[in-house]
Amino acid sequence: MTDTVPKQNKRPPTIHDVAAQAGVSRGTVSRVLQGGHNVSPASHRAVDAAIRKLGYVVNRAARSLVTRRAGSVAFLLSEAHERLFQDPNLATLLRGCTTALAEHDVPLVLIAAGTEAERRRIAPYLSAHQVDGALLFNSNRGTPMIDLLQQAGLPFVCCGKPQDQSGSISYVVADDREGARTMMRYLVDAGRKRIATIAGPSDGPGGSDRLQGYRDVLTERKIRFDKRLVATGDYSRASGESCMRDLLTRAPDLDAVFVASDLMAEGALRAIERAGRTVPDDIAVGGFDDSSVATATIPTLTTMRQPWQRISDMMVRQLLAQIEGDGPATVILPTELVIRDSA
Amino acid sequence: MTDTVPKQNKRPPTIHDVAAQAGVSRGTVSRVLQGGHNVSPASHRAVDAAIRKLGYVVNRAARSLVTRRAGSVAFLLSEAHERLFQDPNLATLLRGCTTALAEHDVPLVLIAAGTEAERRRIAPYLSAHQVDGALLFNSNRGTPMIDLLQQAGLPFVCCGKPQDQSGSISYVVADDREGARTMMRYLVDAGRKRIATIAGPSDGPGGSDRLQGYRDVLTERKIRFDKRLVATGDYSRASGESCMRDLLTRAPDLDAVFVASDLMAEGALRAIERAGRTVPDDIAVGGFDDSSVATATIPTLTTMRQPWQRISDMMVRQLLAQIEGDGPATVILPTELVIRDSA
DNA sequence: GGGTCGAAAGTTAGCGTTAACACTTCCGCC
DNA sequence: GGCGGAAGTGTTAACGCTAACTTTCGACCC
């Protein structure tokens, strides 16, 4: 009379089973799991074979209990709902961090922390070290989340320069200022004389650095700064469009525009088209990000590529290092000019 | 001679500390943690007070070890890289599930499973039940991930109807067919006579249901089906634009178009504008999704809202129920017509 | 008054892993 | 030939929690 239930889930193998199979002690198996120091090649091979044979996977809960490490890190979604849904960079970063962490076998826990209520809810979770560290996107807008993390004594790494630089906070950014300079030099070298810019909010990602880069090159090339050629958007498509309209009104003779994000650049392209001007013949447009929209526009966008892959990797590396006891660090990564049709 | 290190991290309080503080046994504290059955009101209060006073947070690793439950669920990113970055619905769903799960105090682990290599890597992780269940987005394209989950014996819920319906698979979808009908009836009732449609790929989200809804209403209203009025895109902006161009060539007299996604509708708007026609006067445009782009277009999009909030909630509820032992179920949620400027 | 029952509480045995410790070898060296 | 040390291995005590088991204590009923 066999069991009627098809095949009941028999317990997964434990380190004990592996030890028995390999003919060694649990301790030796554990040592192999930790990297195999002080284990003879023969034992190592035996254990490896046993692990494969049994399909053994370490029980993270048990490990976590004794090591007092969660073995996972959090990605904090600190953005408000609306913004979250629109930023193509967030998706890119999230994907990059997930992949980078997978390489280290560290699960990524997604945590919503956009509202005050959410922050209150997760505070005990973080304080109790249910994760070993946290990754932050766009930490720039306000610092409540950062305060919380510091108070919890949890290692964390921001993507983007945090506003409050008082404490030593780890962060990874693209070189916004130099990137802006590169784009500007490209426009100048292409013979453009009246170059406008649509900057982002000074407290947003990139901060005022991209605007600063714009000014740097004007100075460098001895071009007079004209404040009529500067507009400030909020990184949304709509703001890019309205800023461009304003610029075209204030300075109809402009022949290029450096836009601080691709999304705004898309809006700008639209405004230019509606004004009956052409890109790039009348007006050259340079973006920033090389996000997914850059290839979707007509014409496609010439833009500065942010090295998201490397940014993710560095954030993860920095975070893991910090968890291991390293001090905070800041990493600045170079951007790359991607030439397409708009300039 | 006090310690020089500022304030070393003293151990967080354990259930033992709480018991001592409350003057009860560990068992009683645990019972309170489980919901407080068979605990006298007095003890319950004492334990609650102790928990608050000590700032106690349960150690999930220890709990997990003894309950043989991970206490977390996975969100599987089964999309290839490029698509992932562009789908506004994914971000919405991800956010919704995170929030819904937070309510149940269940962490969401993000797992990349878009490539074959990634799938191979996570297979043991899933088989070893390092998560209690999985949430899937867009399971439609192929079933390798589903096979893997079934093999691992892990409960899971899909967003969208899975292609392979052989096994009984839990899924949650918006009522695509009825939604399409609603939009179509709206267009017909508005006096449109030649209504075209841009459908999505039949193996994509929404499948052929939205196209079916289109045909349903034609039949219902005794309008002859004209295959020149049907184009098939791939849900991208670019495909919406090119499909619309085709439609305008094949049937210049069309006076409305029902587009199976907002992103494609955005492309369609563009094609219409370029063709020198106006929306909604010449041509009415109806979208599907009510994603973030719907309010960003000019004119804003009339569209069918997918109830992402409820979809997330139901997915989470279903998954948790399944983890508790319930059988699979399918949930179909109604969509809602959102009237804006394009129709 | 003895028996039964159930609620409320205490007691205890693990859950699977690691890390600290203890124990053998075995090698090289004085 | 004894001694120190290192490499390899086994042994064991936690880690914090839950669940099953036991105990206590009244209430209630015949």
For residues A51 and A96, state if they share a domain. no
Q: At CB < 8 A and 24+ separation, what contacts does B6-15 make?
A: B9/A153, B12/A127, B12/A128, B12/A129, B12/B55, B12/B56, B12/B57, B12/B59, B13/B54, B13/B55, B13/B56, B14/B56, B14/B59, B15/B56, B15/B58
Task: Please tell me which of the candidates A85, A108, A291 has its beta carbon nearest to residue B91.
Answer: A85
Cis peptide before A280 (omega within 30 of 0): yes
Let me know: does A259 contact A268? Beta carbons within 8 Å.
Answer: yes
- DSSP code string of A200-240: --TTSTTTTHHHHHHHHHHHHTT----GGGEEE--SSHHHH
Sign of the Cα torsion A259, A263, A269, A275 reads negative
- Cβ A25 to strand D below 7 Å: yes
Across the interface, whether the CB atoms of B111 and A102 are under 8 A apart is answered yes
Residue-level pLDDT at B114: 83
DSSP B279: T
For residues B195 and B278, state if they share a domain. yes
- Cβ B34 to strand C below 7 Å: no
Residue-level pLDDT at A50: 94
> To the nearest whole angstrom, how far is the Cα of B227 from the nearest Cα of chain A?
28
Across the interface, whether the CB atoms of B107 and A111 are under 8 A apart is answered yes
For residues A188 and A298, state if they share a domain. yes
Q: For residue B47, give its domain range.
A: 15-58
Q: What is the pLDDT of residues A262-280, one digit of tens each?
A: 999 999 998 999 899 999 9
How far apart CA A15 and CA A187 sit, in angstroms, is 63
Q: Model's pTM, two decimal places?
A: 0.89
Residue-level pLDDT at B91: 83
Task: Please tell me which of the candidates A65, A88, A128 has its beta carbon nearest to residue B12.
Answer: A128
From the alpha carbon of A14, which nucleotide's C1' atom is closest?
C16
From the alpha carbon of B42, which nucleotide's C1' atom is closest?
C8
Q: What is the pLDDT of residues A117-164, one digit of tens each?
A: 888 889 998 988 999 999 998 755 567 888 889 888 899 999 988 877
Q: Does residue A282 belong to any structural domain of this protein?
A: yes
For residues A31 and A101, state if they share a domain. no
Q: What are phi and psi of B21, to 5 degrees?
A: -60, -40
Q: Does residue A68 belong to any structural domain of this protein?
A: no
List the single protein residue with the shortest CA to C1' distance from C7: B38
For residues B78 and B193, state if they share a domain. no
Crossing angle between the packed helical segments A15-22 and A26-33, to the nearest 10 degrees: 110
At CA A326, angle to CA A321 and CA A332, rounded to 5? 70
Q: Does residue B146 belong to any structural domain of this protein?
A: yes
- pLDDT class of B142 with cuts at 50, 70, 90: low
How far apart CA A122 and CA A145 sit, in angstroms, is 10
Q: To probe the interface with A, which of B67, B76, B92, B110 has the most A CB atoms within 10 Å? A: B110
Q: Does residue B3 belong to any structural domain of this protein?
A: no
Q: What is the pLDDT of residues A76-93, one digit of tens each?
A: 987 765 666 667 788 888
Q: What is the pLDDT of residues B300-309, one digit of tens each?
A: 999 999 999 9
Q: Does residue B10 belong to any structural domain of this protein?
A: no
- Using the predicted structure, report yes or no on whether residue B29 has a pLDDT greater than 50: yes
The count of CB pairs under 8 A between chains A and B is: 123
Q: Does residue B81 belong to any structural domain of this protein?
A: yes
- Using the predicted structure, report yes or no on whether residue A8 has a pLDDT greater than 50: no
Which residues of chain A have a CB within 8 Å of the CB of B129? 12
From A91, which residue of chain B is nearest by alpha-carbon distance? B85
Q: Which nucleotides of D are covered by protein (CB under 7 A)?
A: 7-12, 14-21
What's the total number of domains in chain A?
3
Across the interface, whether the CB atoms of A124 and B86 are under 8 A apart is answered no
Q: Does residue B5 belong to any structural domain of this protein?
A: no
Q: What is the pLDDT of residues B259-295, one digit of tens each?
A: 999 999 999 998 999 899 999 999 999 999 998 889 8
Residue-level pLDDT at A151: 87
How far apart CA B223 and CA B21 sit, in angstroms, is 76
CATH code: domain of residue A136: 3.40.50.2300
- Cβ B47 to strand C below 7 Å: no
Q: Is B94 helix (H, G, I), strand (E, B) or coil?
A: helix
Let me know: does A162 contact A154? Beta carbons within 8 Å.
Answer: no
Q: Does residue A201 belong to any structural domain of this protein?
A: yes
For residues A97 and A151, state if they share a domain. yes
Q: List the helix and strand counts (H, then E) for chain A.
A: 13, 12
> To the nearest whole angstrom, how far is the Cα of B19 from the nearest Cα of chain A?
18
